[in-house]
Amino acid sequence: MKYVRDIPFKKFVDSHHRAVDEDLAELRRSNEEESVPLIFTETEEILGLLLGLTHPSRILEIGTAHGYSSLFFAKKLPEAHITTIERNPVMVEAARAEFASRKEGERIDFRTGDASEILDELVCRLADADDSEKFDFVFIDAAKSHYREFFEAAERICTKDAIIVCDNILLNGWILEAEGSAARRHRTSIKYMKKFLDYISDRDDLEVSILTGADGLAIIRFINEK
């Protein structure tokens, strides 16, 4: 199966990518050289467009890695506050160093530990809070078999006009064609991702756009009665 990240289209998109600033461009280069997980340039372009249209003030990110996307959010929206969650100790150490070395890190609330537990804490604190305290943009990019759990927690602490974006929904193309040893190792994630996509698509109170660019995105908003 020929996948988008392995064909010339990705290089073409990358060649037209314009970073928010040179600092972020250098961070992308170093992360790619070190094979650190980070969002594709195409994903960054889509996120940037959404941020420019919606201007969220409170962003929740589930899955920090080395902090690239958190810093992208902070640089793109200089007035926004970002909360990001990561449990991997290696990732935590790297992201903490990246945040500490930049002024944008002052607006990043870095929560470390199990995402489910941290989300439960946020739900307890924010479920009945005023909209000014809730999140108006959520980016989910963590354990793929837990996307439904993350989504259901996130929607309890979001404003009614929030946008929720889920990354990597194609799982390297395995969501369509799960062949080979690598796909077999990720069969649990594949199974639960398919269930999650069916779940959000079947809900009448959600508007869902499934995009195939990069490694796939689900862009979700709530349908609110007027």
User: Which amino acid is present at 36?
Assistant: V
CATH of domain 4-222: 3.40.50.150
Give pLDDT tens digits for 61-81.
Answer: 999 999 999 999 999 999 999
Neighbouring CB atoms inside 10 A of 83's CB total 20
Alpha carbon distances (Å) from 124 to 59, 117, 118, 153, 217: 18, 11, 10, 10, 28
pTM, entire model:
0.92
pLDDT above 60 (res 4): no
Report the chain's C-alpha Rg in angstroms: 17
CB neighbour list of residue 64: distance below 8 Å, 6 or more residues apart: 70, 84, 85, 86, 91, 92, 95, 110
pLDDT above 70 (res 187): yes
The pLDDT of residue 6 is 57
Contact 108, 86 (CB under 8 A): no
Neighbouring CB atoms inside 10 A of 93's CB total 12
Which sequence spans correspond to the domains of the chain?
4-222
Distance between first and last Cα of the chain: 45
